[in-house]
Amino acid sequence: MKKLLPLAITILTSSYAATANAEDSFYIGALYNVQEISADRDLNTAGIVAGYRYNQYFALETRLAKGTSGYSFYFETPQYDGGYEEDIDSQISLSIKASYPIFESFQVYGLVGFTKTELEINATGPRLNSEGDFFEVLPYGFTESESGLSYGIGVDYQINEQFNIFIDYQILPDFEPQANFSSSWKSTTIGFSYSF
């Protein structure tokens, strides 16, 4: 009995610390993200995640990321060579995170919120003269913005009182660079967070 008492106290203390960590705390971390657009585009980002955990069930979370690899193609014609490059300049989201613990250190969660993505686009194209004939090749660039509802599901594993690792899958606002063109946008994220 004397041997079991210290063990019981240790278990109760650990459980209380884990519960206390899950309530009323801030957290910050890093993430890496693989995104797929159904129009044959794969875009990757890296960034930070930060949030406020109200209790073990609800949190308010924001993510900020920047592109690490984009989409591009090049072409040749008898008159000129051209190209097109597209990358995520910035991506920011604000979400409500609802979690449900499955085991002591393992939980599933859902995310719903707002995501805004700025795409940086650079290309080269022909300049025509007044008669409609090719004159010269000109570079041009512009920014495309996509924003709207985002939602998804994920899993979170608590390594210790401060550190968690997570992975989630989200549906982002559709990619609509033109009025008559729309493609679905999906995102898979892996990362870690530190609570304080």
pLDDT the model gives residue 181: 59
pLDDT the model gives residue 76: 77
pLDDT the model gives residue 143: 84
**Structural domain of residue 135, as residue ranges?**
4-195
pLDDT the model gives residue 85: 83
DSSP string across 151-170: EEEEEEEE-SSSEEEEEEEE
What's 141's domain CATH number?
A: 2.40.160.20
pLDDT the model gives residue 18: 45
- CA-closest candidate to residue 57, choices 20, 109, 95: 109
pLDDT the model gives residue 78: 73
pLDDT the model gives residue 17: 43
pLDDT the model gives residue 8: 43
CA distances from 73 to 85, 86, 123, 194 (A): 7, 9, 10, 40
Structural domains of the chain, count: 1
Residues (pLDDT < 70) of the chain are 1-22, 39, 126-130, 132-137, 176-182
What is the distance between the terminal CA atoms of the chain, rounded to a whole angstrom? 36
Task: Give φ, ψ of 176 to 5 degrees.
Answer: -135, 75
User: What burial class does residue 57 get, using C-beta atoms within 10 Å of its C-beta: 0-12 exposed, 13-18 middle, 19+ buried?
Assistant: middle
pLDDT the model gives residue 179: 58
